[in-house]
Amino acid sequence: MPLVNTPRAKQFLSNMGIDAGRRAYLGNPATLPAEPATVVTKLHYVVADAVNRVNNLEFDKTRTPTQQHDAGRQIAEAVDAEITKARASLKRWSDRATDAAMTEIETVLASEAGNSALMSELRSYLRSKAGDAEFQAKLRGLVETDLRFAAAIGSAPAELSGLSSDRAAQLRVYAAAKHAPEASERVQVAQEVAALDAKLASAQAEVAPAFYNAGVQEGMRTAVDVSAPLGGE
């Protein structure tokens, strides 16, 4: 039985005590690249061990209830530190992976941008079609099939092509998916890894209130230090 018997705490510990629950709260290592998978797998083991220890504290006859909750606090702090470390590791990986993939994408999309006269002509043409709904509907297919149009849009402010910044950015995403598919896929994977941060932050916030009752643990402030030298020495 857990030390904290609120429905939320019991549900959290129950979920974190099984593989499926940890995958839901912490991410599924099987769906991740090797380095992030290693980080998340370690976190699964840490949390599983911590939950098992917290559940067994109730049966620890060497500790008073106050000491049991203090032990729960110590375990919670250790888990919190591990989650913080994992979040930092995952962010570093996702940032590196995104930067590397985006550099590759930019190189591909800019490969036709060297002919400045042609780029200017293409932007003028695109700008002249800004009010043509039929042309705008076909523009995605155009940047996907002709890298020169993607380069023209990406090598100057969006308004020079008669586009909003959001529209130009979306067209570059479409172009990247067609002209640099492997790099685009790596960006997507990196974004999925980055999205784990919110999931881990949510789980992290649940740890302390599920592992111990702060009100009970506060009783440790009354502890008498019996190991101190007698007589004030």
Work out the number of other CB atoms within 10 angstroms of the CB of residue 192.
15
Are 17 and 94 in the same domain? yes
The domain total for the chain is: 2
Are 149 and 121 in the same domain? yes
* Residue 200 included in any domain: yes
- Look up residue 168 and give its two tokens: 């130009």
Are 209 and 138 in the same domain? no
Of 225, 196, 209, the closest CA to residue 26 belongs to: 196
Are 149 and 76 in the same domain? no
Are 13 and 84 in the same domain? yes
pLDDT of res. 194: 97
Q: How far is CA 112 from the centre of its chain?
A: 34
- Going residue by residue through the chain, which has 233 residues, state the pLDDT in tens, using 9 for 90 and above: 678 888 999 999 999 999 999 999 999 999 999 999 999 999 999 999 999 999 999 899 998 888 888 899 999 999 999 999 999 999 999 999 999 999 999 899 887 777 889 999 999 999 999 989 999 999 999 999 999 999 999 889 999 999 999 999 999 999 999 999 999 999 999 999 999 999 999 999 999 999 998 766 665 666 656 677 877 65
Residue 215 to residue 233: CA distance in whole angstroms: 34
* Residue 26 included in any domain: yes
For every residue of 82-143, DSSP letters joined together read HHHHHHHHHHHHHHHHHHHHHHHHHHHHTTTTT-HHHHHHHHHHHHHTTT-HHHHHHHHHHH
Are 93 and 115 in the same domain? no
* Residue 123 included in any domain: yes
Are 33 and 89 in the same domain? yes
Q: What is the span of the domain harbouring residue 72?
A: 7-98+196-221
pLDDT of res. 219: 58
SS3 172: helix
Residue 163 to residue 166: CA distance in whole angstroms: 8
Are 138 and 84 in the same domain? no
Are 77 and 152 in the same domain? no
How far apart are the two ends of the chain, measured CA to CA in Å? 44
* Residue 21 included in any domain: yes
Helix (H) or strand (E) holding 167: helix 165-179
Are 18 and 91 in the same domain? yes
* Residue 177 included in any domain: yes
Are 90 and 120 in the same domain? no
Are 21 and 91 in the same domain? yes
pLDDT of res. 111: 77
